[in-house]
Structure 1
Amino acid sequence: MTWEERIADAWSADVTDEERIALIDAVAAERPEDDAAALFERAGARDSAGLEEEAEPLYRRALEAGLDEDRRVQAVIQLASTIRNLGKLEESLALLRAEYEKGRDAPLRDATAAFYALALASSGDAVRAASIALQALAPHLPRYMRSVTGYAQELV
């Protein structure tokens, strides 16, 4: 079984948060201490368990170490969500805005929009948050896509 498969198994295992952290840490330990993917998985396990203060530095180290594009975007979203919960709202907004502004074809665009909308709502900018969320939703609507997109843009 590959490293990636063992990580996926740890995530899907029916275990407590503490047990999941231990499982992921054990698999991550098979890689060098500064391995970006291992750091990212360790951060995610802690984040998922509500241990944001432990997750934050691991996300930062993973990003500094250089993640593949898929994990990089996930790490940015997850770090931004984590630091929003830790009261670092301005930094969270800046990270999410930068990802969001990469355009419609950027990886995980809708997930980025969702977390950007949450951060905007936390900042008190509920109208901008609604606009971002509606623009992300509009392409998935079987009808009224143009109308919803137009109304969402008019909000701001």
Structure 2
Amino acid sequence: MRDDELARGVRLREEGRAEEARELLAGLARRHPDDAEVAYQTAWVHDTLGLEAEAVPYYERALADKELGDRLGAYTGLGSTLRVLGRYDEALETFVRALGEYPGDAGLRTFMAMTLYNLGRSQEAVSTLLKVVAESGHVGGYRRAVEYYADHLDETV
């Protein structure tokens, strides 16, 4: 029953029927308060609906379980949601913690760069983004130069 309801809630969200999905998943979360996957999917549907503040406790509940299957997604969701809410210090802490589990993840680093910008740490934000871009291979033969200047943005000759 739980699996069927969870699958239905995810399907409804994916079909763009997020309000129906939210009702179903929130009810499932009340009945299964310790189920990390249910909490994660419930958080996600709240985010989909622009209900970021309501999503946060579900993300936190999901991440409390070290066995959550999509911890990377939950970290990304929580961190980006905290950033949207203007809770920049908490967002940065979330991304730093997440990078401890998923070192080098480009998505986490990109959202962290946005958070650094919001915190007024623009040089660090640009440096982080330049490193992500260089590692992506999308700078052609300029990778070494981009990697160098990521840490030397103010250098001139």
TM-score, structure 2 length as denominator?
A: 0.79
- Selected match of 1:111 from 94, 100, 107: 107
How far did 1:118 drift? Answer: 0.7
CA distance in 1: counterparts of 2:83 and 2:71, whole angstroms = 18
Report the 3-state secondary structure (helix = DSSP H, G, I; strand = E; otherwise coil) of the residue aligned with 1:154. Answer: coil
CA distance in 2: counterparts of 1:77 and 1:52, whole angstroms = 13
Unaligned segments of structure 2, at least 5 residues: none
CA distance in 2: counterparts of 1:22 and 1:56, whole angstroms = 17
Larger radius of gyration: 2
Equivalent residue, structure 2, for 1:91? 90
- Following TM superposition, the consecutive aligned residue runs of length 4 or more in structure 1 with deviations greater than 6 angstroms are none
Q: Which moved more, 1:115-124 or 1:74-83?
A: 74-83
Report the 3-state secondary structure (helix = DSSP H, G, I; strand = E; otherwise coil) of the residue aligned with 1:83. Answer: helix
How far did 1:98 drift? Answer: 2.9
Q: Report how many residues are paired.
A: 148
Equivalent residue, structure 1, for 2:57? 57
TM-score, structure 1 length as denominator?
A: 0.79
CA distance in 2: counterparts of 1:151 and 1:75, whole angstroms = 32
Deviations 1:96-150 (A, max 9, x none): 123335533xxxx011011101100111111111111111111221511222111
Deviations 1:23-72 (A, max 9, x none): 5447x56x83311001000001001211011101111111113343x511
- Selected match of 2:147 from 116, 134, 149: 149
Contact 1:100 1:116 in 2 (8 A): no
**Paired amino acid for 1:146:** R
- Selected match of 2:128 from 125, 132, 135: 132
Equivalent residue, structure 2, for 1:39? 39
Report the 3-state secondary structure (helix = DSSP H, G, I; strand = E; otherwise coil) of the residue aligned with 1:33. Answer: coil
Unaligned segments of structure 1, at least 5 residues: none
CA distance in 2: counterparts of 1:9 and 1:74, whole angstroms = 17
**Paired amino acid for 2:135:** P
**Paired amino acid for 1:18:** E
Shift in CA distance, 142/84, structure 1 to aligned 2, threshold 3 Å: closer
